[in-house]
Amino acid sequence: MISAQDLLRQAVRDRGPLEDIFEQQAGQGYYDDALATARVITSSPPHHENELSGWIEELIKVRAENGDIQGAKEMIKKFSGSALGARGPDATREIARIQVDTGDLRGALETGVSPADANEVMEEFGNQEIAHGDFDGALKTSEQVNERSAYNLFYALGGALRERDEPQRLHELASHMTDPKRTAEFLDAARFTLSPGVEVRSVQATPCDIAWVDANTGKFAEAYSLAQQDRCRYSDTAIKQFATDPDEAERELRTSGDAGDTSIGLAYMSEAAAKKGDVANALRLLDSARQVSGKQAFCVDCVREIAWAWTLKGQPGVVLGWAHSLPIASQQRGYALLGIAQALGHARPK
């Protein structure tokens, strides 16, 4: 069986979505291939070769997110004098941020960031502590950063107390601090985000807006009635209904007098069916959408989702044959190959 790596390379040759292919190659650890794809992207209009540094920075970030911190650092060394250019410090900060996100503060501070960046690393760590409910830890961190970063943490902590409906904890937390100056700053700053002013505006809803709200709350009969009276898009309601009553949603959609809207709705239904693993229905709906619109070159996301779901059913050879039957010019073949590669390399496409 052809590998995910080979499929992604073939998708590049078949004019697939290069940016998505780059993302998948990087995510699956094919870093040399991802770099080659980035070079293809930046060598074609409207891109320019000087954009390559941004792609390399992104590649370094993904490599670090994959857990290969050392490999990411080595890439900075490899490209810092050439293709990465002035983006080296930015890439270094990204690695440090990722280390902070995984709880490795010491590693982040040892990554090689500047003193100013070290302050930002500490601030990010404080934000992580707030996100995890460690408010005392965040306040200790606030005493190790500069005043600007400390205020950022104080505002964030005040907002967290508001979201938890725990304003009474403000003075209790302040009593645990050791720096009197920072304690006063905390009490002053947190009050702003504890009780923010809220501006309320009234907006006149249109009938189509009301139909959309009705669809979102499961009032499908009312939504279709408004859609018919005011010529709103049937697809908006049908796509919502498809999640709970696919047969009725499709029947209602086909009563629309707008062929374009019907085609769009069927395509979205095809994508939704594929996400549920219902490949046969997804293929039927996609074919029906094409018949209604009279077009072949559309809904590449449907093609990718179908390829992904079909491959997960253990029939990659059959899916590959189907992918090769699709046209190259409309990118459908490239998206199908990408879907197969995603299924082989990851549990779900991003």
DSSP assignment string, 209-274: HHHHHHHHTT-HHHHHHHHHHHT--HHHHHHHHHTT-HHHHHHHHTT-S-HHHHHHHHHHHHHHHH
Q: Which pLDDT value is given to residue 141? A: 94
Residue 202: pLDDT band by 50, 70, 90 thresholds?
Answer: low
Residue 347: pLDDT band by 50, 70, 90 thresholds?
Answer: very low
Is the per-residue pLDDT at 33 higher than 90?
yes
Is the per-residue pLDDT at 6 higher than 50?
yes
Residue 203: pLDDT band by 50, 70, 90 thresholds?
Answer: low
Is the per-residue pLDDT at 173 higher than 70?
yes
Q: Which pLDDT value is given to residue 197? A: 56
Residue 117: pLDDT band by 50, 70, 90 thresholds?
Answer: confident
Mean pLDDT of 309-328: 92
Residue 78, both tokens: 């490899």
Is residue 192 within 8 A of residue 159, CB to CB? The reply is: no
What is the Cα–Cα distance from 280 to 291, expressed in whole angstroms?
Answer: 17
Q: Which pLDDT value is given to residue 116? A: 77
DSSP-derived letter for residue 204 is P
Q: What is the residue-averaged pLDDT of the chain?
A: 90
Is the per-residue pLDDT at 18 higher than 80?
yes
Is the per-residue pLDDT at 221 higher than 60?
yes
Nearest to residue 233, comparing CAs of 252, 219, 205?
Answer: 252
Residue 200: pLDDT band by 50, 70, 90 thresholds?
Answer: very low
Mean pLDDT of 244-251: 96
Mean pLDDT of 128-148: 94
pLDDT in tens, 253-282: 999 888 999 999 999 999 999 999 999 999
pTM: 0.78
Q: Which pLDDT value is given to residue 299? A: 85
Residue 300, both tokens: 């590449």
Burial of 210 (0-12, 13-18, 19+ CB in 10 A): middle
Specify the residue for token string 């010491």. 106
Is residue 305 within 8 A of residue 349, CB to CB? The reply is: yes
Domain chopping of the chain, boundaries: 4-194, 207-345
Question: Measured on CA atoms in the order 33, 38, 39, 41, is the torsion positive or negative?
Answer: positive
Is the per-residue pLDDT at 345 higher than 90?
no
What is the Cα–Cα distance from 93 to 22, expressed in whole angstroms?
Answer: 22
